[in-house]
Structures are given as structure tokens and as C-alpha cells.
Amino acid sequence: MSELKNHQLIQQYVEWNEYGRLLGMDFSILEAGKIQYRMPIQSVHLATPFAAHGGSVASLMDAALGVAALSAVVESMRIVSTVTMNMQFVRPALNNDVLQANAEVIKQGKSLIFVEATILNQLGKTVATGTAVMNAYPVEKADYSEK
């Protein structure tokens, strides 16, 4: 499904996602509605000398859930926004860990998309789990103009 990553809306997301670049995140689309998002834990992520700030792990979770939902609707020229996100931190992400979020759409309605994800470290141990409800809407309704 690598052709989905070349879709103009996905490419626009990649181009505009300064925050994802700051955190060192990158993703692969396995198929529509199923993705992997990676983030190596580096000093910029740390809240203590050895452990990542929970916000950086939550950022990876939100990105993974969002791109999974986006990949499910992008062919219909729709984009997504997070309505709710719930996550559970299972263990700390440590300096030099390489995190991988596996996210998948579990149910898709007309405008609401239910997504779940698990973040694993390089040893395959669960760092966090999460779910989200995403809202899908036509790209024309996105207002990126300056107010």
C-alpha cells in the first residue's frame, strides 16, 4: 500500500508536520486503515535523565491513530481530526529506545472512525495502548486561511 503514502493529502500532511519532524517520527502505511509509526527516543524527548516525557509518547499515539484513520479516508478526499483519545502508559520509554506504534481502524462510520493502537519498544514490550475516535470530513471544509 505504499502508493497511499504518495497520495497528495498524505504528502501534504508529511510536508506540514513540523512537530513530527521535531520528534523524529516517521510512518509506513501497511494498508488503508493500518499503519506503523516510529519514533526513536532521544534527549529531546526526555523528562528525566533516562525516561521520555509522557507527552512525547502521547504525541506518537495521536499521530499513529490519526494517520491510520487518514489512510482509511484519504481516497475519498477526506481528512481527519481527533475527537477523543484515551491511552494507558504501561512502562516508560527510555533514552535510545525505538518506539513503534501499530495502529488500525476497528470501525468506520459515515464520519466517525474508531481506531486502536499499541506502542512497543524495540524489545517488543508494550509501552502504551490507546484508542481514539476521529472525525472525517471533506478536505474543502478545512480552513487553513489566516484569521
Residue 2, classed as helix, strand or coil, is helix
Instruction: Give the pLDDT of residue 144.
Output: 60
Three-state DSSP class for residue 131: strand
Give the tens place of pLDDT for each residue, 3-29: 899 999 999 999 999 999 999 999 999
Q: Give the tens place of pLDDT for each residue, 81-138.
A: 999 999 999 999 999 999 999 999 999 999 999 999 999 999 999 999 999 999 999 9
How far apart are alpha carbons 96 and 40 in whole angstroms?
6
- Average pLDDT of 47-67? 97
Q: Tell me, what's the pLDDT at 111?
A: 96
Residue 130: phi and psi, rounded to 5, are: -165, 165
What's the chain's average pLDDT? 94
CB atoms within 10 A of CB 79: 22
Domains and CATH numbers, the chain: 2-139 (3.10.129.10)
Q: Which pLDDT score, from 0 to 100, does residue 143 have?
A: 67
